[in-house]
Chain A
Amino acid sequence: MKYSNRTSLVVAASLAAMLTVAGCHKHNPAPPPPPAPPATAPAPMATITATPSTITPGGSATLTWKTTDASNVSIVGLGQVASSGTQTVSPTQTTSYHLVAQGDGGTADATATVAVSGAAPAPAPITETGIDENAFEQSVKPVFFDYDSYDVRPDAQTTIQADANFLNQHPNLKVVIGGYCDNRGSTEYNLALGENRANAAKQALTSAGVSPDRLRTVSYGKEKQFCSENNEQCWQQNRRSQFTLDQ
């Protein structure tokens, strides 16, 4: 019973606070309507460059973009991005990156192209039976997610593309996509979130040409972890969709 006095006081105080707050709310006037947007918003501007603009197969280039007066900035194929930024890309074939900046004053866009020189090396003929779990995981890399999010990040698009390329070269392989979460938060909620992560990876692979019939999702939530430290590096390792052979 050692808590009793303190608890009663806390309860009394918090209830008193609630009553006061509730009383105040009753007398609050209706909030003013939100201010209308300015009649003439400045038109957005957008620029994007790729350095270098030509790469060899397997190489990478850096995209650098800048926008002004835009509230919604995206690069086609990479999704939503910050209003200004840089990102490393490794396209396997010549690719144009189309920057779109939308704001109250209209839309602006710009394009940078990364050319891939020479023919891509012919893929080594791999027999389906020669692929074990290790070889598979060497080739089909996991996709990582932001905290409490199941959106495939722009920086995961290259991973998804490489994973899809491998799976498209090995059409007989079937895949389990495991959805994983870091160890914070609720067991049940994380299982649902892990399912959303696995499904987001499945949809990204499907968009990249992999038949959904070959892909099966299982959420592991926070039930199976890749590491167990309580720091952001480990949490990030655990927030993933992991691909394994469906045997």
Chain B
Amino acid sequence: MILSPPRKPAVFRIFLFLALLAVGASGLQAQDWVRTGTNLGVSKIRIAAADFKAGSADPQTGGLKSAFDQTLYNDLRYAGIFDVVSKSMIPTATPGSPQEIQMAQWSATPVSAGYVAFGALTANGGHLAVQGFLYNTAQGQQNPQVLGKQYGGEATADSARQIAHRFADEIIQQLGGIPGIAETKIYYVSSRTGNKEIWVMDYDGMNARQLTHLGTVSLSPHVSPDNSRVAFSSLGKNGWSIRMYSLDLGRLTAFPEWGGMSLSPAWSSDGTKLAYSSARSGDPEIYMSDASGNGARRLTAFRGPDVSPVWNPKTNSQLAWVSGRTRLPQIYIMDSDGANISRMTDGGYAISPSWSPSGQFLTFAWDRKYGPGAPGGYDIYVMDIASKRWTQLTHDSGANDFPSWSPDSRHIVFQREQNGHTEIWMMLADGTDQQQLTHGGGSNTMPNWSWK
């Protein structure tokens, strides 16, 4: 029996779930489940985040502290590998240093934390200083301190949140074995100015910032693996072309216009190549070029729409994309020279693939019952590529599209349309813990998770 019992911890569920999808009927035993490259244990860690101690009477401290405390708490909760002690249950004590903590308060029931994060936050003359500790609560240890960190920055709420993200990622790396996502960004399209422009926000939906001001329609942002550039497509006088925004320079940079519609650019994980859809031949086909847009090569040659390519980030030797060659769009994969085409979906309306960082899974949007006259509702699915086994992650909650994997493979960000409004959500990669990240002000769509 290799099925997950219902009360197993969440982290175990996700990776058991993905690994089961992967090994399927091949008869592998339990020890082979942990093959997702995430290096996770099988039990969820119970952790408490104390409210930090205010280290000064500076009037700014209160606001900064609450931004910090809330961000740290949310980061640990969203990480997917912790059972976080709820805010209502944590002791009221705010130990600012190891000398001030009474460990029994944190290890005894009902708190029952295996680890506790605590520390002090001090605002002074426009400067913010944070001391953060992570302690193992088990009795009689030689060295209960797991982490002791010092951070500094401006005394702003944004800076307090960024420091909390850094401290959370240290904790997640230490206890979860792989880098966390608390410092990652999500690039997306928002129409809150009245036009669809490219925006970026922190992974938790905070700190939203508009990047482009083109006043037309800009879509499909994809950030480069080194976080230096965002490729996207934009409607101009001569139709759709691929544009490039430099995050280093804070402006658009030159990129060739090839003529004919160009859409949906996607980076290889080494940052040297782009794949995209181009209609320069009169029919939308998949092309690839180097990262500066030179050396274009056509990969597909079949009548009908071909669009939305993504690379296998593990190897950069395969692409997944969407083709309408048999009418309703389906997900296909091929080698990066256009050979070995394989259809992955067996019907319905399947779109918007995203390839998992491990190279093992695709997530995509699918309406398995799509047809003329049917309402356009669809859900997010995950498929194990080798076996083509799939499972459905969203159910009965609006129309879901544009899933994008997080760099830790544990999360998926996507767009959900409900009651005429489209917002960005994230969830764990087994479909649980769905969180809405954006809240109105126009439609928020096409999220793309940064690589680190």
Contacts and interface: CB of A to CB of B under 8 A. Distances in A.
B13 A4 contact: yes
A14 B391 contact: yes
A188 B283 contact: no
Interface centre among A183, A193, A230 (most CB of B within 10 A): A193
B431 A188 contact: no
Contact of B401 (A9, A19, A186, A230): A186
Contacts of A148: 324, 327-328, 372
A191 B307 contact: yes
A186 B239 contact: no
B318 to A, nearest CB: 20
A5 interface: yes
Contacts of B297: none
A188 B220 contact: yes
A195 B389 CA distance: 33
B305 A193 contact: yes
Contact of A19 (B17, B24, B219, B446): B24
B3 A188 contact: no
Interface stretch (B4-12, B124-132, B162-170): B4-12
B25 A19 contact: yes
A238 interface: no
Contacts of A1: 10, 432-433
A156 B98 CA distance: 79
Contacts of B327: 148-149
B120 interface: no
Nearest to B431: A7
Contacts of A4: 6, 10, 13, 432
Contacts of A41: none
Interface in B384-405: 387, 389, 391-392, 401
Interface centre among B220, B240, B308 (most CB of A within 10 A): B240
A195 B387 CA distance: 34
A187 interface: yes
Interface size class of B (residues with CB under 8 A): 35 or more
B299 to A, nearest CB: 15
A170 interface: no
Contact of B307 (A149, A192, A220, A232): A192
A189 B305 contact: yes
A166 B184 CA distance: 56
Contacts of B351: 185-186, 188-189
B277 A8 contact: no
A22 B389 CA distance: 9
Contacts of B308: 186, 188-189
B352 interface: yes
Contact of B261 (A16, A26, A187, A219): A219
Interface string B263-298: 110000000000001010011100000000000000
A15 interface: yes
Interface centre among A15, A147, A220 (most CB of B within 10 A): A15
A220 B217 CA distance: 10
A161 interface: no
B13 A187 contact: no
Contacts of A150: 304
A22 B387 CA distance: 10
A67 interface: no
Contact of A183 (B306, B349, B376, B445): B376
A232 B283 contact: no
B240 A191 contact: yes
Contact of A15 (B21, B322, B375, B431): B21
A12 interface: yes
Contact of B219 (A8, A22, A188): A188
Given A192-B277, A193-B305, A195-B279, A184 B376 contact: yes
A189 B239 contact: no
A186 B352 contact: yes
B365 to A, nearest CB: 7
B241 to A, nearest CB: 11
B284 A192 contact: yes
A23 interface: yes
Given A187-B445, A193-B305, A11 B277 contact: no
Interface in B292-324: 304-308, 322, 324
A196 interface: yes
Interface string B421-434: 00000000011111
B373 interface: yes
B20 interface: yes
Contact of A191 (B261, B370, B434, B446): B261
Contacts of A192: 261, 263, 277, 279, 284, 305-307, 324
B357 interface: no
Contacts of B239: 216-219
Nearest to B20: A15
Interface centre among B21, B327, B329 (most CB of A within 10 A): B329
Interface in A177-224: 183-189, 191-193, 195-196, 199, 216-220, 223
B5 to A, nearest CB: 7
Contact of A18 (B24, B279, B324): B24
A219 B10 contact: no
Contacts of A230: 375
A8 B6 contact: yes
Interface of B: 3-8, 10, 13, 17, 20-21, 24-25, 196, 217, 219-220, 235, 238-240, 261, 263-264, 277, 279, 282-284, 304-308, 322, 324, 327-329, 349, 351-352, 365, 370, 372-373, 375-376, 387, 389, 391-392, 401, 430-434, 445-446
Given A8-B8, A11-B391, 6 more contacts: A3-B433, A18-B24, A26-B25, A186-B322, A191-B261, A192-B277
28 contacts: A7-B430, A8-B5, A11-B391, A14-B391, A15-B3, A16-B3, A18-B24, A22-B387, A23-B25, A26-B25, A147-B372, A148-B372, A184-B375, A186-B365, A187-B445, A187-B446, A188-B220, A188-B307, A189-B329, A192-B263, A192-B307, A193-B305, A196-B283, A199-B282, A217-B239, A218-B240, A230-B375, A232-B373
Ranked 4 nearest A-B pairs via Cβ: A184-B376, A192-B305, A186-B351, A192-B284
